[in-house]
Amino acid sequence: MVLGEERRGIYLSVITDTRPIESIKKFIKDSDLFICEGTYGKDEDIEKAIKNKHMTFREAANLAKEAKVKKMLLTHFTPAMLEPAEYLENAKEVFENTIIGEDRMIFNLNFEEDKNFQQK
């Protein structure tokens, strides 16, 4: 075994440029990291989100919660939103483990010990 003992892989999912639809939940289910657009931070911008086929922070957080992802990183913000972090609570009220993506952000994903791993 060149790379060491077998272990569970890391599950990364990315969704952008869409409205929240039911099929996304199946695609992102149990992701270690869910990278999702959060074009609009304010709940009041729901009409813009629908018209422009994007999501609000809260809509993205609902997907993360329902799909039982471990962590969500919001990205793809409207240029009109100068400080996305100002609206982070709109997502965290629904899904606590949410962070705001930033330019040149580096994010490390580590393998966890999975005691339930079954060799095939």
Please report, for the domain that includes residue 72, its CATH number: 3.60.15.10
Which residue bears the tokens 């992701």? 31
Ordered strands of the 12-15 beta sheet:
12-15, 33-37, 72-75, 98-100
Does some domain include residue 31?
A: yes
Residue-range definition of the domain harbouring residue 45: 12-100
**Looking at the domain assignment, is residue 107 inside a domain?**
no
Count structural domains, the chain. 1
At residue 115, does pLDDT exceed 60?
A: no
In a domain, residue 113? The reply is: no
Q: At 116, is the pLDDT very low, low, confident or very high (cuts 50, 70, 90)?
A: very low
DSSP class of residue 113 equals P
**Residue partners of 58: CB distance under 8 A and separation at least 6:** 43, 90, 91, 93, 94
Q: What percent of the chain has pLDDT over 70?
A: 89
9-63: per-residue pLDDT in tens?
A: 889 999 999 999 999 999 999 999 999 999 999 999 999 999 999 999 999 999 9
Answer whether residue 6 is part of any domain.
no
CB 76 within 8 A of CB 38: yes
Residue 116 dihedral angles phi and psi, to the nearest 5°: -95, 5
